[in-house]
């Protein structure tokens, strides 16, 4: 599967479905890292007063993790896993992106213990960091 990935192919890699999809493209997956982009659209359910909400930024980070897990599962011939946010720590938001903006998100899996991922995520707009956090994501066991 060749990167970048967008559209229906991307949507098949993540458990979230419209109108709750918060990534537009998987740009790169390398080692423990994954980079995605998202075009903030005016009619998105997580947009309020023409800005993406803090909850939208957190979900964008989680979906970047889901995209990495889904991509790797397809490569391994396994079903797409379902994940759940278990904990968000040290969330910091410097600004909220406006509609029409394209944000870039990089997650890094710092640890994986059984079905739990501990990740760090950073969201950028125009090359400037606008949000970051640490997160625990639990993967549903099959």
For residues 49-60, one letter each, b for 16 or more C-beta atoms within 10 angstroms of the residue's C-beta and e for the rest, the string is: eebbbeebbbbb
pTM (predicted TM-score): 0.97
Q: Give the residue extent of every domain in the chain.
A: 5-139
Which tens digit of pLDDT belongs to each residue from 81-99? 999 999 999 999 999 999 9
Rounded CA gap, 90 and 134, in Å?
6
Q: What is the DSSP string of 31-65?
A: TTEEEEEEE--TT-TTEETTEE-HHHHHHHHHHHH
Q: Which CATH class is domain 5-139?
A: alpha beta
Please give the DSSP secondary-structure letter assigned to residue 15: S
Which tens digit of pLDDT belongs to each residue from 20-55? 999 999 999 999 999 999 999 999 999 999 999 999
Rounded CA gap, 76 and 90, in Å?
33
């Amino acid at each position: 599967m060749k990167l970048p990935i967008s559209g229906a192919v991307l949507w098949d890699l993540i458990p979230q479905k419209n109108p709750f999809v918060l990534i537009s493209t998987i740009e790169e997956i390398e080692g423990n890292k994954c980079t995605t982009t998202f075009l903030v659209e005016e009619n998105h359910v997580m947009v309020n007063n023409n800005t993406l909400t803090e909850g939208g930024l957190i979900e964008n980070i989680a979906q970047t993790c889901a995209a990495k897990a889904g991509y790797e599962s397809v490569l391994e011939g396994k079903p797409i896993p379902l994940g759940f946010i278990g904990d968000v720590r040290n969330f910091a938001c410097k600004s909220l992106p406006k509609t029409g903006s394209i944000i870039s998100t990089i997650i890094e899996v710092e640890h994986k213990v059984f079905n739990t991922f501990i990740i760090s995520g950073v969201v950028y707009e125009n090359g400037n960091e606008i949000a970051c956090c640490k997160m625990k994501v639990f993967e549903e066991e099959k």
